[in-house]
Structure 1
Amino acid sequence: MSLTITEECIYCDICRPACPNSAISAGDEFYVINPNLCTECVGHYDEPQCQQVCPVECIPLLPELAESKEKLWEKYTLITGSVVS
């Protein structure tokens, strides 16, 4: 998972309900993303929904943390119990 929430987060709670995998939760100072639950919306949407709804654009993709689409699909199937053909 290459998404992260930066300290620019204003704690508005718009991203949390937008996440189809419930990967976003409240941290001490800003929201955090659980890397075990984040699929970057693979399996649900074409683009990460947290990025789409964030009013301050504080959820960048970090290339150095990128996972392959195959790995994201694998995580999606484990989380949802779906079978991808």
Structure 2
Amino acid sequence: MAIIITDECINCGACEPECPNTAIYEGGIEWTYGGGTKLSEVDFGDGTIIKGTATMKPVSDEFYYIVSDKCTECTGFHEEPQCAAVCPVDCCVPDPDNVEDLETLQAKKAWLHGE
């Protein structure tokens, strides 16, 4: 499953540089699929294709947030999600709305990084 940042976040920013997929952003900051990945475009399979550089709306305007489409729980990089490991207030937790098995997380890593 992807990780989420709860509203207990103190906006310290410790998590952001730890993410190998560049899936963590400061509140209010737009994000891209291509940022920190090898994605030049994203095909959603329904006829919608966007450039990897297309800016997307922030998930949160107040707190750091994780883009679930880019979160692999650090699979293939680390033994555990690094955002959770460094968070001083334990607000990086599993997202029950985005449950993914190991195989799915490995496939997502390969998709993000062109492997």
Q: Shared fold by TM > 0.5? A: yes
Q: Give the distance between the partners of 2:62 and 2:5, measured in 1 at CA.
A: 11
Q: Which runs of 4+ in 1 moved over 2 A?
A: 62-65
Q: Which has a greater percent of strand?
A: 2
TM-score (norm 2): 0.67
Q: Give the distance between the partners of 2:94 and 2:13, measured in 1 at CA.
A: 19
- The one-letter code sitting in structure 2 at the alignment partner of 1:80 is H
Q: Deviations over 1:23-55 (max 9, x none)?
A: 000121111101111000001011000000000
**Once superposed, what is the RMSD of the aligned Cα atoms?**
1.1
Structure 1 unaligned regions, length at least 5: none
TM-score (norm 1): 0.89
**Corresponding position: 1:54 with 2:90:** no
Q: Give the distance between the partners of 1:32 and 1:61, measured in 2 at CA.
A: 13
Q: Once the two structures are aligned, what percentage of the paired residues are identical?
A: 49
> Based on CA coordinates, which of the two structures has the bigger radius of gyration?
2
- In structure 1, which of residues 33, 50, 54 is the aligned counterpart of residue 66 of structure 2? 33
